Structure 1
Amino acid sequence: MKALAIVAVVVGLLVAAALKFGAAEALADLLQPDPVQRARAGDCLTELPQVSGMEERTVRDVAVVDCGTAEAAYTVVGRVPDQTQEQARSGKACEQFVAPGQDGYVFYNIASGERGYLLCLTKKG
């Protein structure tokens, strides 16, 4: 029981230190798993921030939602596994999933030097 109390105090101190020294975002990433990591073609995502060209934005409140709801803003038209950050950033792997003349968007959560998934999206009409 004493060991459990010590662990709770240590965890509390780590959380307090993380918040104080600006590591709140890193802590949030550890505590909250990627909300769209299981998204597949045919799924829908909530609204994402508008970006242009090669601009990137961190998104914390994206979610997979029922495609029949008003929250559904994007349709996942493809998923490409085992991508580097550079590959995902280029979006070339998504070209096969987006029809000519249609606007395509990419979503990925890949740390530098790691590999992960790329979601290919189109705006719901």
Structure 2
Amino acid sequence: MAKRTLTENQQRFLEVLFDEAAGDVVRAKQLAGYSDNTPTRLITEALKDEIADATRTYFSRIAPKAAVAISGALNDPTELGIKDKMAAAKDLLDRAGLGKVEKVDVSSSSGGIFYLPPKEGTNE
């Protein structure tokens, strides 16, 4: 997919969203130079694909920190709040595509369709 041309304000919005604005879209709008009268909703709708890409990039940027946090639990499993920290780190790694992957192989050698008999019982 070809990248589309963004306005200067749109480019700046994406640049500051996960840095100076710390994920706050209203703050990013202000830092990008948009008018206060510009609805934030219009900006985010116009940039939804770019925001999704930036979010994936952000997750990949902080995934090493999550990995280090998980390995740090091996060194100090009694750290205060370690259970919550591990849950957050695991979730972040999963969302970054680095977590446990479960695969189910569904294949058929016959390539045909088979029918199951109707269920028997009173719950029809």
Asked if TM exceeds 0.5, the reply is no
Which has the larger share of helix? 2
- Pick the structure with greater CA Rg: 2
Which has the larger share of strand? 1
Structure with the larger RCO, 1 or 2 (CA within 8 Å, 6+ apart): 1
TM-score by length of 1: 0.24
